[in-house]
Chain A
């Protein structure tokens, strides 16, 4: 928790000190209030007091109240400024850090978790800072101040107050200890409840097709009973809190009055002191309760702080080389030299001893079953991951020695899952090439067979987050156009054609071959039809290259390829091909 505060700027530390000063002042003022009250009480008991004296004391009290209000306003102001500013800094730091992560770090945390860390966890910390931190500072000062005021005035009453505090602290701690584990259970059961309901909803057609409504309701009922039971327990226990607090507070003021009366009778105490004691003891009890609240909430914030620190402390596994080798005159050549690759916490290699060359203008296809390592292979080229062994060379230079931005500028990547960004059609097309002119954009759109999408929506047409207002095939074509607009030397298509129907698939590839014949194209695909005409086909099986050649050659000499082909084409077609 403390570590996260290191991200404070020095201005905030100064502000924080000012804030503490104002809090001290405010507590001082609050504590002074009962003194003037005793003064008025004293005035009444002293015969011959004038109304002016009462008014004077009264005005002082109003002044003090107002002063205390001003202090709180200043404190709130500073607290809000610090929290908002700190939040912005934290968010920015996490965002920048995540932006610099390679896929390896992203996978380590998972995207969903990174998002929560940058949003929810930051909110948690802010909440703690605005509310918790202030209480954390105010409570001890207030308790301390009140204790100083009453100390030495009556040891008996002080003892009573302390007992009251002790009872409340012990009680709340016990209650919390009993209830906390159940709170976690509720969290878990809520997840279960959600899960069962989600299952019923996502599988609603299956549930109905199998007439399994009763089965689903029974599953739900089980969780429902459990969660109700836990809720009942927790709430019944927590119902103790309020009556218990009341009894302690009331008991305290009764004890002080009663014992106080005895003491006054024995001439050990005066009436005004007793009355102010009543006020101060309440304040002490309240401060302790505030502290307890803070400690109940602290664990949540510190969990968040820990999660944020984890992100900020993760070293980047891929960064720019110290002295990047600048490009040479080679263009569009990709070479794998005995590349093996293993994911960070995997036991086995995803890719083993891969070697091949893709020359300028060539089309190289990669085929294989799911999990054979096709996508992993592609992701090594833009250096999303670093190889475990061997070298990946682009234009004859190891990718590790190139400036990352320069390297990625040469590459047009089309991912498996087409995703667009919120904005317009045009902003998406310009995503990798800010300065592309309209003609280039139009050409890219035409090649990608996306002309009708752009015609329908217009270049200024709105694109929702993730491109949700476009269909799968439309998104895929837009995502291809986005890569073309970048005018890269090397295209990487990661199973990018599977969302397209056969006809569009064919037209798109024809256009690509015609319009960007200079560029090297590396295509991962499932359909034999998509890759049949490639210059070179690599057949991957369990991370190894088991075939390398043209369609015809592979049909002759590669068993795995033949199997794939047979499952998709009929005998005659294979023979005719």
Chain B
């Protein structure tokens, strides 16, 4: 970090998308060999800024300097040539191919593969030695755990000569252990002179790994501070522009009767692989049960099966103590019994992106009498109903006729919550309620869920955010590989303990 010009210097970067002013004269200096965090709410403009740096968009105004030289980056190819590499949140890997093939893709070095492959093997070997990035080049990428797949992405960037590595929400899919391993790697890379830009909304990670942190809010760069001189609460305040309560205040639960139960439930996917494997659990009125686990360990399938969206291969589901017959296991019928569902993936499941907001706001309830008589829908009624929901849940903009896809993630989520909660659920199944949602909206959503619990609703919460699970749950159930690997009370556990359970290891059971 001595005497080298800054790895990246952005000056006056400005970008508009129609009405939206995504970046307002943004300045950013990233010192060479440092780990620089960028935080901000959704829509604050971090992704736009990085997309400009990586050549997905062209800035309307402003200057980019890489290692002191002004550059003009109009396509990712030119960013790569300038020594910038990017690791996307959603990996860009070809799963059936080997690690070597994936790394070689786009850098074959000629029509015949053998020569390039030989060179790359040597290069991977060297990177493995220099940075501890050890990986079997002949492994099939699809068979690797997520943490190693991410490593392949990092290798792809390094092999292409990246000196600057941009990571977009890199820990969203990782276990706490994998995330720690990633951070160790990033520190090694930085100590070897590489520059790392880390985009995240997890303040804990910013505090753990970065040297400097920049905060964006509404398209502006509001602060750049040394990490050692700041705190999570200060960063949160900078991000939102007001004081934020990071903790959820709640009274102890007073659970009532069991409202929803699963007994020996097994759910198989299309290939016949059990995704949920002999799971039994019960959910009482007035409590929040959190399901923790690394994404892809059966939580999604569990939630969907309980909502009637997937057939059971074995076991049964009981509502208020009565087992459901096969034909009752239907989302429409369960909804009629007060079992409502906020799905994990709102865009893929909970909403219809090309629909007007008011049409998405009745999804699942389209047959109800209040939305029309007979075959014709009462459009004015639907619009008025949505306008009221938008008012009650502070959905912005309050435009029932705007296309669903045009709302921000947080507002889409509020629309789904409004639709489901407003129907006075007896049981509420909630998946990833705050995924991609701003801190301000997270606070609002968490309070609503706790308020529902206090009204006696049984809430099942599935989330990959351990902090969220710890903050909201009255009981925590951990899943790994489709099975329940343990149950804890939030006051009796910590992230390490849960992390081990999520990896399938129960230290306490082994010790006992």
Q: Do A and B come from one complex?
A: no
